[in-house]
Structure 1
Amino acid sequence: MHLMRALEPALQALALSVEVQPDQNWNSALNQIETKLRAMQKSTHGPEDEHWASEAVLQLRAIKNAWRNRAMHGVVRYGEDDAVRIFESVKFFMQTLALRLTE
């Protein structure tokens, strides 16, 4: 649960970076962010930006669907092995964002 809460400022920063209002639920914000990031194409933004955008969206959607929804709605409690896997996924996502975003 704490890792999911730690992602909220990252989601807000990502949303603001693509001109999406971050003050909505995760799914709505993520849908709008995905639309904006998918528009980042090689021809207009370059291959590195396109790759970064694709990776960021994929990671955040996977984290949300696999762990965030279940943890934040009290559906499941995770054990130590799960916590390590979630931590590593969140860490990788944050490192991906840090390549392009600042506070």
Structure 2
Amino acid sequence: MSAQSSGLASFAPMCIGGSTVRAAYKRSLRTGLYWRLSPEERGWLAEAVEDPDTLFARERLPLIDKLVELNLIVDSIEGRESWYWVDEPPPERDSELGVGWHVAW
């Protein structure tokens, strides 16, 4: 396997050995996502790692569209009312999992 290999096989060991955020960052470098973003968008993405809802601002909507297109985030989270779910509803916010009120990783 080359140093530039991609796919789930190369992504899984990074998640097991280190943080998921570090693994996502390394994967974004390999896939070229990091270099396709403007410096401003990179800053927004760094903020969104801690709080995904920071992306939900007017000037950041084009970045949301890019990330949704690449299947990196979900921006249409269904209702969290208890009657809506068979089991437990998803958490309202969980920064460790990357779940915000409007956006989730």
Output the TM-score relative to the length of structure 1. Answer: 0.34
Structure of higher RCO (CA pairs closer than 8 Å, 6+ residues apart): 1
Instruction: Say which one has the larger Rg.
Output: 2
Could you say which structure has the higher helix fraction?
Answer: 1
Q: TM-score, normalised by structure 2?
A: 0.33
